[in-house]
Amino acid sequence: MMRQYELVDRVRAYNPHADEELLNKAYVYAMRAHGAQKRASGDPYFTHPLEVAAILTEMRLDDATIVAAVLHDTIEDTGSTREEIEQIFGPEIARLVDGLTKIKKLDLVSKRAEQAENFRKLLLAIAVDVRVLLVKLADRLHNMRTLHFVPEAKRTRIAEETLDIYAPLAGRMGMQGLRDELENLSFKTLRPDAYAMIETRLADLREKNVALIARIENEITEEMTARGIRAEAKGREKAPYSIWRKMERKSVSFEQLSDIYGFRIVVDSLEDCYRAIGVVHMKWPTVPGRFKDYISTPKQNDYRSIHTTVIGPGRQRVELQVRTRDMDDIAENGIAAHTLYKEGRAADNEALERESSAYRWLRRTIEMLGEGDTPEEFLEHTKLELFHDQVFCFSPKGRLIALPRGATPIDFAYAVHTDIGNKAVGARINGRIAPLLSELQNGDEVHVVIAEGQVPPAAWESLVVTGKARAAIRRATRDAVRAQYAELGRQIVRRAFERAGKTFSDDKLKAALPRLARQSSDDVLAAVGRGEMFSGDVVKAVHPEFVAERTMGASAAKGDSGWFGLRKAASVVFKVPSADPHLDSIPIRGLRGDLPVRFSPHGGAVPGDRIVGILTPGEGITIYPIQSHALTQFDDHPERWLDVRWDIEEQSAELFPAQIIVSAINEPGTLGAIANLIGESGANIDHIVFVNKSPDVRDIVIDLEVRDLKHLTGILSQLKATNVVSKVERVAG
């Protein structure tokens, strides 16, 4: 176990002005708090926070971060409280430790929900101070190094979580060295046989290629020295998990891989990077299509290097990375390499956002937390962004947008701004009109065409690749559906008030919210629209003195048949009837209107039909023609009946559903003749079913889409007049 003075010495080795008293105080406090606690290995528990602190000293982090690492489990696993930590160590360290404390005693429905909620809380803490992330990753790294002491079932879950979340998160923060170790430790746990196989192959290859690697390093160094460039060339070996992932992705064997070894050239200055790449390209032939300049266009995790592949010594294919020493530090340590965390400087999120695109990405991701997603959805969206490679595209004004590979103009639109994505209706890529689902390529210039009032189709959610786009589409869809239900509820409630002889207003409704157990007027209206609350209950809540009477209509009592009698029998009749019959009916404009409307699944309904609406909980209004046999099933549910009327513009091009049954001669060409006639009439066939077939005649049920009743009647007349149809009629449903 690391001694007290050893911890101080490790920090003072890179920070001579370290607060020795603070470090000593944290050491003693944590040791006493953890007391006799043991780890799964049998070691004192206190060894774990010390090892986490040691990992962070290798990153040369500030005193507050080291102290937070020493204390990070005290609130969760001992009797310590945040208040006590703040009193002894100050608010900054208390905030860091609290951000690292898992949520306890939550009544969560699943382990996945718990994982998602803990991850959500972690990112919220990171938004306040990114040092929380550095301690958490170091904590996970030490837990992975000692994972073999943990029971197997728990071991697998921890390794999967590390591979799913923490390793990619480290990569997104540019901490490639830590990411590689986390991935390899997880890989070793989850696929021990595959890990052992690759390690054995690598050992054999290492032994065979030791001389070749030294030769390439020497030749590169000599070439640079001869041109006056001070450079360090070093071979590097691909990590086992990275090798395995490439073998799986490309379905190739270990022997078929040509990039197991690569070489890094580290130089003093930015100018030397480009001079060095020129020397390499003059010395050895390049492999076409393998040059990438991540200095002029850095990756989103702040990674900067020039990549190239050449045919080097011994006709070997050699991958090269050229970078400065500062770039090398950021490539390995990522966000931890930024000067904001050196020499005891306090955290400054605004300064870090200016300095680090990786942190800007993280902040954008965290912004999604405030936009209504569940923890599970947030975790899903974050994983989407963690795993993708990138393409770089430009707006017409030259703004660079980094997106996951496979992204579309829809993803691009949402990356620019959520409102742009929600209003997107088209795109131009490099000046040419292109589908919104086109896959974007590096260097594309994308112009998004928008339209006011546009709502993104729900189907887009499964077609985009960025978490931000998916979250925004899901949210917009929910908002649109909620708005439809609220508008339907408003119309139902307004008519209920008018029938009761009362005046409806939002102010009156707001005053009654406590009696309705809802937070807002929209909540009440949406509940009415969804069929979860009855309009009469709203009237009663606003006017407690009001009494409604349920009466049986006289015509129904006398045996009136048809919808009129049925509707009156099912009515709730208020004492004061409306003077205007239109006030008692809800206007129906079709599926594209502002209400949640659908039509009878058997028979549909078309403008010109006398119609009735049935309120279906969670689905809105289902429209039936008055002759529909299906209406009888709602006889005992009077509260679900709604008066509705058509409100269709004369020039509307919308089509409406109807169903017909055709008895036709069973001979070749009959179906074609029927379909041609329907098509020529301007109607659309949605579905066809053959319900009966005899040697002479077959019955065909056809789902049509027509403009109105007149249009449908004309089609029926034309079908009856053909010599292949013996009978045709509309299905009543």
Q: In 71-81, which positions are buried (b, 16+ CB within 10 angstroms) versus exposed (e)?
A: bbbbbebbebe
CB distance 730 to 603 below 8 Å: yes
Query: Which residue of the set 77, 355, 380, 439 is catalytic?
Result: 77
Structure tokens at 531: 């069929």
By three-state DSSP, how is residue 234 classified?
strand
Q: Report residue 53 CA to chain centroid gap.
A: 34
Tell me how far apart the alpha carbons of residues 528 and 539 are, in angstroms, rounded to a whole number.
12
From 20, 58, 76, 523, active-site residue: 76
Residue in 633, 642, 590, 581 with CA at minimum distance from that of residue 613: 642
> Quick count: other Cβ atoms within 10 Å of Cβ 316?
16
- CB neighbours of residue 480 within 10 Å: 16
Please provide the DSSP assignment of 514-531 as one string: HHHT-SSHHHHHHHHHTT
Distance CA 255, CA 252 (A): 8
Kind of pairing between the strands at 586-588 and 644-646: parallel
Crossing angle of helices 176-190/131-145, nearest 10°? Answer: 30
Name which of 649, 633, 644 is nearest 708 in CA terms: 649
Q: How many residues does the chain have?
A: 733
37 in helix, strand or coil? Answer: coil
Contact 632, 574 (CB under 8 A): no
574 CB-contact burial (10 Å; exposed 0-12 / middle 13-18 / buried 19+): buried
3-state secondary structure of 691: strand
- The DSSP secondary-structure symbol of 227 reads T
Residues 571 and 53: their CA atoms lie apart, in Å, by 73
CA–CA gap between residue 137 and residue 100 (Å, rounded): 10
What are 158's two structure tokens? 């921890």
Calculate Rg over the CA atoms of the chain. 35
Largest CA distance in the chain: 111
- Alpha-helix residue ranges (DSSP H) falling in 402-553: 409-416, 418-423, 467-499, 506-511, 513-516, 521-529, 535-542
CB-CB contact of 709 with 606 (8 Å): yes
What's the CA gap between 86 and 436, in Å, rounded? 52
Helix (H, G, I), strand (E, B) or coil at 663: strand
> Helix or strand or coil: residue 348?
coil
- Name the residue type at position 256: Q
What is the Cα–Cα distance from 686 to 732, expressed in whole angstroms?
Answer: 18
Residue 692's DSSP bridge partners are: 699
Per-residue burial over 536-567, b = 16 or more CB atoms within 10 Å of its CB, e = otherwise: bbbbbbbeeebeeeeeebeebeeebeebebbb
**In sequence order, what are the beta bridge partners of 396?**
none
Paired tokens of 679: 């098509």
Which tokens belong to 457?
Answer: 């189709």
Specify which residues 635 forms β-bridges with: none
* Active site annotation includes 76: yes
669-681 in b/e burial notation, b at 16+ Cβ within 10 A? Answer: ebbebbeebbeeb
| Catalytic residue list | 76-77
